Amino acid sequence: MEKNLRTNSLSEIERVLKTRLIHDTHELAKRLELDEIVTPTTEKAAKITPTLFPESLLNRVQKGNAEDPILLQFMPSPHELEITPNFSCDPLCEQKLDVSERQTASSSPSCIMQKYYGRVLVITTNACACQCRFCFRRYFPKNRALFPLSKEQITGSNEDESNVSALLDNAFETVRKDDSISEIILSGGDPLTLSNKRLKTLLHYIGTITHVKRVRFHSRIPVLSPHRIDDDFPSSEDFPPVEVGVPRVLHLVLHVNSPNEIDEGVAVALSILRRKGFVLTSQTTLLKGVNDDVKELTALFEKLINLGVLPYYLHQLDRVQGSAHFETTIASGREIIEELSVRLPGYAVPRYVREIPGRLMKTNLFIDRDVD
């Protein structure tokens, strides 16, 4: 029964993403002519954090190259089995954080968190188009989502809309009462694994909360599966102004780590998003062996600005257990930023940051030299 549920849920995600998802490590290695890299320890790592890779990304990975910068982000590694001091299963201390901790007498579910003033983050779903091997939420509870995989991705769009309305009323009760909240961040998982119908329902609902002026999506999907961004994808018309002269903004933060990830299909997807009224920025995680190189990041950020995407954050790795092999030193990150500042226009150089639990803002590592 459990196996059938997994197959059905993946089929529903594939329908939304318009690509097949590879969840077998042996198949992924074989398709890339790298059978030899799958070992018993690799398979053990995949049992802890399953392999998930979109077929739409395959043609951007160099066959026979075990060090390909795209492949390294998604192929299970024996290094993930190493237990590293100062790394944890909850590096950002999110698992006990929700909006109710900053409110009194709240009935908000734990899919909504508030880390910063004026903004709340919604775990829309635990579904993704891929499994990043450095994901800081790789151990995050699977039931802490607005539309968990078992509900949304298996039953699809056939849910009773009255039940969805009640669900949203409950989820956003505290947000509706707090007029200091002006922005809602849709995260996950990846919110773009939800259907267009579900996303529009969500945007229309948020649109009834008059003090919310911005909705921000965080997603890798426009890169991983660009055909997902189609003519029916939500637009600014689904989040209209409450009154004349008071604009509301749709924002999408693109997660992208290598210039090799961006091809013509991605360019088309980003063009559609801009046409639909999205403000586009990006965030990149600094990863050893993937992009800890000035030339690679220069190429990435130039591609992004040429496509109308403003590079915003370069993240120091969040110290989630099993990802230590990706970590670079902060000193090397600062050197990279300094060199990027010489090579690129100022608007193309992202802020080099780390999220430190409990701080009310991200820490700029290039400016704050007390953090090592």
Encode the chain in three state secondary structure. Answer: CHHHHHHHHHHHHHHHHCCCEECCHHHHHHHCCCHHHCCHHHHHHHHHCCCCEEHHHHHHCCCCCCCCCCHHHHCCCHHHHCCCCCCECCCCCCCCCCHHHHCCCCCCCCCEECCCCCEEEEEEECCCCCCCCCCCCCCCCCCCCCCCHHHHHHHCCCCCHHHHHHHHHHHCHHHHHCCCCCEEEEEECCHHHCCHHHHHHHHHHHHCCCCCCEEEEEECHHHHCHHHCCCCCCCHHHCCCCCCCCCCEEEEEEECCCHHHCCHHHHHHHHHHHHCCEEEEEEEECCCCCCCCHHHHHHHHHHHHHCCCEEEEEECCCCECCCHHHCCCHHHHHHHHHHHHHHCCHHHCCEEEECCCCCCCCEECCCCCCCC
- Going by pLDDT thresholds of 50, 70 and 90, the confidence category of residue 160 is low
| Burial class of residue 3 (count of CB atoms within 10 Å of its CB; 0-12, 13-18, 19+) | exposed
In terms of domains, do 202 and 110 share one? yes
Last residue of a domain, one of 81, 110, 144: 81
In terms of domains, do 113 and 199 share one? yes
In terms of domains, do 221 and 74 share one? no
In terms of domains, do 121 and 174 share one? yes
Residue type, 120: V
Instruction: Write the pLDDT tens digit of every residue in 64-108.
Output: 999 999 999 999 999 999 999 999 998 888 887 654 444 433 444
Mean pLDDT for the stretch of residues 190-211:
96
* Residue % of the chain over a pLDDT of 90: 76
State residue 148's pLDDT score: 84
Q: 41 lies in a domain?
A: yes
In terms of domains, do 148 and 38 share one? no
Q: 248 lies in a domain?
A: yes
State residue 96's pLDDT score: 72
Last residue of a domain, one of 52, 81, 110: 81
**Measured distance CA(315)–CA(355) in Å, rounded:** 8
In terms of domains, do 49 and 112 share one? no
Q: 94 lies in a domain?
A: no
Mean pLDDT for the stretch of residues 169-175:
92
**Measured distance CA(286)–CA(336) in Å, rounded:** 10
Domain that holds residue 178: 99-364
Q: Indicate the number of domains in the chain.
A: 2
In terms of domains, do 302 and 328 share one? yes
Mean pLDDT for the stretch of residues 356-365:
89
* Residue % of the chain over a pLDDT of 70: 90
Instruction: Write the pLDDT tens digit of every residue in 238-264.
Output: 999 988 878 899 999 999 999 999 999
- Considering the entire predicted model, what is its pTM? 0.91
In terms of domains, do 47 and 108 share one? no
Backbone phi, then psi, for 115, in 5-degree steps?
-100, -35
**Measured distance CA(337)–CA(329) in Å, rounded:** 13
**Measured distance CA(53)–CA(159) in Å, rounded:** 28
State residue 210's pLDDT score: 95
**Measured distance CA(28)–CA(154) in Å, rounded:** 24
In terms of domains, do 107 and 66 share one? no
Q: 370 lies in a domain?
A: no
State residue 103's pLDDT score: 40
Q: 29 lies in a domain?
A: yes
Q: Can you give the CATH number for the domain in which 279 is found?
A: 3.20.20.70
In terms of domains, do 162 and 189 share one? yes
**Mean pLDDT for the chain overall:** 90
Q: 117 lies in a domain?
A: yes
Q: 65 lies in a domain?
A: yes
Last residue of a domain, one of 16, 50, 81: 81
Q: 87 lies in a domain?
A: no
